[in-house]
Amino acid sequence: MSTLNLLSVHQAAEELNLSPQRVYQFCVDGRLGQQVAGAWVIPADELEQFARIPRKTGRPAGEAESQPA
C-alpha cells in the first residue's frame, strides 16, 4: 500500500519559493492541488511536476502602477 504525501498551501509555497497567496491562487484557478474538507492540499508528486513548468517572473503586463506625470 502506497501513502500519498500531501502538502499544505504554506508547505508548497516554501517548496516553490512563492508566497502562500500565490500558491492559493494557483489552487483556486485549478492549476494545482485539490480542496478536501475546506482546505487545499497538494500531492507531492503534483507539486514536483508543477515546479518543472517554466514560468515568467515579475508582474504581469498591464498591472504596472501608473506614475503621476
Q: What is the pLDDT along the chain (69 residues), one digit of tens a residue?
A: 456 799 999 999 999 999 999 999 999 999 999 999 999 999 999 999 999 988 777 777 775 565 565
pTM for the predicted model, two decimal places: 0.74
Q: What DSSP designation does 18 have?
A: S
How many Å apart are CA 42 and CA 31, to the nearest integer? 11
Domain ranges of the chain: 6-51
Count CA atoms within 13 Å of residue 51 on its CB side. Answer: 14
